[in-house]
């Protein structure tokens, strides 16, 4: 007669999970210390350095930064600070940081003025095509932008019959490539860009199509013949691969 043996199932007791309360405690203490420090009056901005702000805008920036003083670091609304800084149309980009030791830093990069619009009042054409009223005179050697009476009547909008970005691109190229020349530029009602290099030579670029090629060709002509702007009466670069030169009488 067969006998059956019962199998004994041995269950092992699981070891209890050991929670490292010491590490947890120190972690929580560190977190509370950091969070408390961020909201502590000790982190209020006491010293704020400013970089890149021109003298003409320093008073405005100083006033808006005074609103940040006395506010703990974690409560500072940096987006609001930067939006206020960008109220100046000449600001290209800005950043603001504030640490837990009461020190802040505002870095500002300004748009470069590439041409001036004679006044009074005088305006400046910035590198992105924006036109702003000049708070200080344009640097020496800045190209002159000639606007039609119709464009001037539009006041600060400066919209309508001309292309500010194309003119800014042209002025920037001339300013950087040939700063020794007294340049003036304009765009007429038909969208034709004309330049004057010094007192003698007029240059017709035509429309803003293929503008890079036309400016590059002009620069090449000046490089190969440095006296060309003192010698010829007119240069036509409507077709950059086939320029026309009219000699002075």
Can you say whether residue 166 is alpha, beta or left, with left for phi > 0 and alpha for psi between -120 and 50 degrees? alpha
Between CA 65 and CA 42 the distance in angstroms is 18
pLDDT digits (tens, 9 = 90+) for 141-168: 899 998 766 555 544 444 455 788 999 9
> Residue 35 domain-assigned?
no
Residue 229 belongs to a domain: yes
Q: Are residues 160 and 243 in the same domain?
A: yes
Of 85, 110, 135, the last residue of a domain is: 110
81 in a domain, yes or no?
yes
- Could you write out the DSSP letters of every residue in 106-152? EEEEEPPEEEEE-SSSPEEEETTS-EEE-SSPPPTTPPEEE--HHHH
Q: Is pLDDT at 223 greater than 80 in this prediction?
A: yes
Which of 89, 110, 131 is the C-terminal boundary of a domain? Answer: 110
241 and 198 within one domain = yes
Q: How confident is the model at residue 182 (pLDDT cuts 50, 70, 90)?
A: very high
93 and 51, same structural domain? Answer: yes
Instruction: Lowest mean pLDDT of 33-47, 71-85, 180-194, name the range.
Output: 33-47
Structural domain includes residue 31: no
Query: Residue 29 has what pLDDT?
Result: 47
CATH number for the domain spanning 197: value is 3.40.50
Domain identity same for 79 and 193: no
241 and 140 within one domain: yes
Query: Does one domain contain both 124 and 98?
Result: no
Residues 67 and 181 in one domain: no
| Domains of the chain: total | 2
Number of neighbouring beta carbons within 10 Å of residue 189: 11
Q: Please report whether residue 13 resides in a domain.
A: no
- 203 is a domain residue: yes
Domain span at 235: 113-247
Pick the more confident residue, 22 or 69.
69
Number of CB atoms found within 10 A of residue 157's CB: 9
Judgement on whether residues 102 and 50 belong to the same structural domain of the protein:
yes
Residue 7 lies in a domain: no
Same domain, 50 and 103: yes
Pair 102, 132 in one domain? no
Whether 134 is in a domain gets the answer yes
**Domain final residue, candidates 110, 136, 166:** 110
Residues 53 and 95 in one domain: yes
pTM above 0.75, yes or no: no
Residues 98 and 119 in one domain: no
């Amino acid at each position: 007669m067969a006998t059956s043996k019962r199998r004994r199932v041995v269950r092992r007791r699981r070891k209890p999970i050991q929670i490292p309360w010491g590490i947890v405690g120190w972690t929580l203490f560190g977190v509370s210390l950091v969070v408390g420090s961020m909201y502590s009056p000790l982190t209020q901005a006491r010293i704020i350095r400013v970089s890149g702000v021109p003298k003409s805008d320093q008073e405005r920036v100083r006033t808006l930064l005074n609103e940040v003083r006395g506010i703990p670091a974690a409560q500072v609304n940096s987006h609001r600070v930067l939006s206020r800084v960008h109220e100046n149309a000449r600001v290209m980009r800005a950043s603001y940081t504030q640490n837990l030791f009461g020190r802040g830093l505002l870095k500002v990069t300004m748009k470069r003025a590439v041409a001036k619009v004679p006044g009074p009042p005088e305006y400046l054409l910035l590198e992105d095509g924006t036109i702003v009223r000049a708070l200080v005179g344009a640097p020496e050697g800045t190209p002159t932008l000639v606007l039609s009476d119709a464009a001037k009547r539009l006041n600060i909008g400066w919209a309508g019959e001309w292309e500010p970005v194309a003119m800014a691109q042209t002025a920037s190229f001339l300013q950087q490539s040939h700063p020794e020349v007294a340049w003036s530029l304009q765009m007429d009602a038909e969208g034709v860009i004309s330049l004057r290099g010094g007192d003698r030579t007029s240059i017709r670029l035509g429309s803003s199509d293929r503008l890079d090629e036309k400016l590059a060709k002009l620069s090449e002509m000046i490089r190969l013949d440095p006296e060309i702007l003192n010698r010829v009466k007119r240069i036509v670069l409507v077709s950059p691969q086939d320029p026309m030169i009219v000699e002075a009488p």
